[in-house]
């Protein structure tokens, strides 16, 4: 696990082989086939360029881009992954999954800085390798990491206050990718 200290107290932990390939294969297939996937509207009414699914503790709702995402009950596989990531850092009660079907599916620059959320996010990638980029809000300094099959990235400290992150589109012929972002929702939105 590589520890990357960022300006202003941000922290990024990076392990490009957190899960062995066979274990990652198993989880990818199970989550692709068993999660309840939706394409939801984002800002300005445009459909988000990816599919999402929400799982977590009973009663937990995560609101972003003006949309409430109420957690479905945990799947066994998600609890197994959550427990593995919690041994590294964090404690989580919610998981937002993003399914990138092709290189055209993406996630634009954003910060997960909603007031109801804790400051540690555990992000596990399964499937096709995609670029994960971070950019400092003021200096615009950018760092790029490869998020491959079984890669774990943990964002912590003040990272969400001073950095944005994205998964950009690519014209390369990449396969499907599922990204699991484990979070601690401190209070559901009103």
100 contact partners, CB below 8 Å, separation of at least 6: 50, 106, 127, 128, 130, 167, 176, 177, 178, 179
In a domain, 149, yes or no: yes
In a domain, 112, yes or no: yes
Q: How far apart are CA 12 and CA 167, in angstroms?
A: 16
pLDDT at 190: 53
Q: What is the pLDDT along the chain (190 residues), one digit of tens a residue?
A: 999 999 999 999 999 999 999 999 999 999 999 999 998 766 666 667 789 999 999 999 998 777 788 999 999 999 999 999 999 999 999 999 999 999 989 998 999 998 888 999 999 999 999 999 999 999 999 999 999 999 999 999 999 999 999 999 999 999 999 999 999 998 755 5
In a domain, 122, yes or no: yes
In a domain, 100, yes or no: yes
Count of the separate structural domains present in the chain? 1
How many residues comprise the chain? Answer: 190
In a domain, 188, yes or no: no
In a domain, 113, yes or no: yes
pLDDT at 39: 82
pLDDT at 115: 85
pLDDT at 63: 85
In a domain, 46, yes or no: yes
pLDDT at 49: 73
The CATH number of residue 47's host domain is: 2.60.120.590
In a domain, 189, yes or no: no
- Under 8 Å between Cβ of 1 and 14: yes
> Greatest CA span in the chain, whole angstroms?
42
pLDDT at 187: 73
Domain that holds residue 42: 2-183
Which pTM value belongs to this model? 0.93
Q: Which helix (H) or strand (E) holds 96?
A: strand 94-100
């Amino acid at each position: 696990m590589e520890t990357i200290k960022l300006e202003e107290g941000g922290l990024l932990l990076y392990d490009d082989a957190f899960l062995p390939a066979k274990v990652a294969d198993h989880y990818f297939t199970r989550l692709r086939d068993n999660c309840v996937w939706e394409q939801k509207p984002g800002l300005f009414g445009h459909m988000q360029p990816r599919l999402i699914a929400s799982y977590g503790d009973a009663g937990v709702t995560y609101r972003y881009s003006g949309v409430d995402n109420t957690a479905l009950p945990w799947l066994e596989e998600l609890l197994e992954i959550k427990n593995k990531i919690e041994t590294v850092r964090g404690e989580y009660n919610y998981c937002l999954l993003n399914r990138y079907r092709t290189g055209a599916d993406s996630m634009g620059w954003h910060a997960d800085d909603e007031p109801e959320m804790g400051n540690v996010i555990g992000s596990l990638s399964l499937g096709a390798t995609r670029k994960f980029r971070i950019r400092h809000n003021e200096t615009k300094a950018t760092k790029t990491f490869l998020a491959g099959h079984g890669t774990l990235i943990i964002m912590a400290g003040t990272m969400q206050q001073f950095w944005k992150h994205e998964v950009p589109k690519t014209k390369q012929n990449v396969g499907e990718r599922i990204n699991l972002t484990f979070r601690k929702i401190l209070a559901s939105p009103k």
